[in-house]
């Protein structure tokens, strides 16, 4: 997964996609986010569950443990290692969902510059990405060390032609289970390893190369250039 995504809907659109009846502690505001070209270190709306409430905070995309000061903050965590490796041990219990509208990948098609593609749900519904992080809660005020990473898995089907890694995307039902503090760690690991949405839930298409510049924003960056494609395999991706 390349480090660029869109989060342009408002918080209530994402809450509706999660279908959680829980009370919302909203620290992310009520206006559309309009982040069409979000890069690492961007503050993005992140959901987690606090008691019986759903909480939304603006948290930086990217995190590293305090002892790893000599390396850049990762933005992703490989699902094959995240539950047992030492790097993310401190935040593995801190499960979250980052709801996005789409993400971007760049493909070498023999041109001087790689061609960007946009990947989104076929039904245009928000994409509920499994994440872990360090974020504010009742006992933890916002801190400069806060951040989150998106869990990624191998791509499958036609999506592998776009990129070999992709976010682990959960259905609303599984996203609610992922957020529930009562869900056991072993069950959470099984969910992200085995129950991510299949590639055939998505479609992808070329977009303008202007998305390559992080200073560019706007709806024109998510407009298709050419045909809309999609995976056609069955089963989990």
What amino acid positions are annotated as catalytic residues? Answer: 2, 105
Exposure letters 85-124 (e unless 16+ CB within 10 A, then b): eebbeebbebbbbbbbbbbbbbbeeeeeeebbbbbbbeee
Is residue 213 packed enough to be buried (19+ CB in 10 Å), middle (13-18) or exposed (0-12)? exposed
DSSP string, 22-79: S-EEE-S-SS---EEEE-TT-EEEEEEEETTEEEEEEEEB----TT-TTSPPPSEEET
Report residue 115: phi and psi, to 5°: -90, 120
> How big is the chain by its Cα radius of gyration, in Å?
17
Opening angle at CA 234, ends 230 and 237, nearest 5: 75
Is residue 192 packed enough to be buried (19+ CB in 10 Å), middle (13-18) or exposed (0-12)? buried
SS3 158: helix
Instruction: Give me 122's structure tokens.
Output: 């076929």
């Amino acid at each position: 997964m390349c480090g660029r995504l869109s989060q342009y809907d408002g918080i209530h659109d994402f809450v509706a996609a999660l279908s959680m009846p829980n009370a919302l502690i909203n620290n992310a505001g009520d206006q559309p986010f309009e982040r069409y070209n979000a890069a690492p270190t961007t503050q993005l709306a992140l959901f987690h569950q606090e008691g019986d409430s759903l909480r939304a905070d603006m948290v930086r995309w990217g995190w590293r443990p305090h002892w790893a000061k000599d390396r850049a903050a990762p933005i992703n965590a490989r699902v094959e290692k995240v539950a047992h490796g030492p790097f993310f041990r401190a935040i593995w219990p801190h499960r979250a969902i980052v709801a996005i509208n789409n993400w971007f990948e760049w493909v070498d098609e023999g041109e001087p510059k790689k061609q960007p593609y946009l990947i989104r749900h076929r039904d245009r519904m928000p994409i509920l990405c499994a994440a872990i992080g360090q974020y504010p809660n009742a006992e933890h005020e916002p801190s400069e060390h806060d951040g989150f990473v998106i869990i990624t898995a191998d791509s499958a089907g036609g999506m592998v032609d776009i990129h070999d890694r992709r976010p682990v995307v959960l259905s609303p039902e599984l996203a609610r289970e992922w957020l529930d503090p009562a869900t056991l760690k072993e069950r959470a690991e099984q969910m992200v390893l085995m129950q991510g949405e299949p590639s055939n839930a998505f479609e992808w298409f070329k977009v303008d190369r202007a998305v390559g510049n992080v200073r560019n924003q706007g709806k024109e960056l998510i407009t298709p250039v050419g045909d809309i494609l999609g995976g056609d395999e069955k089963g989990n991706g």
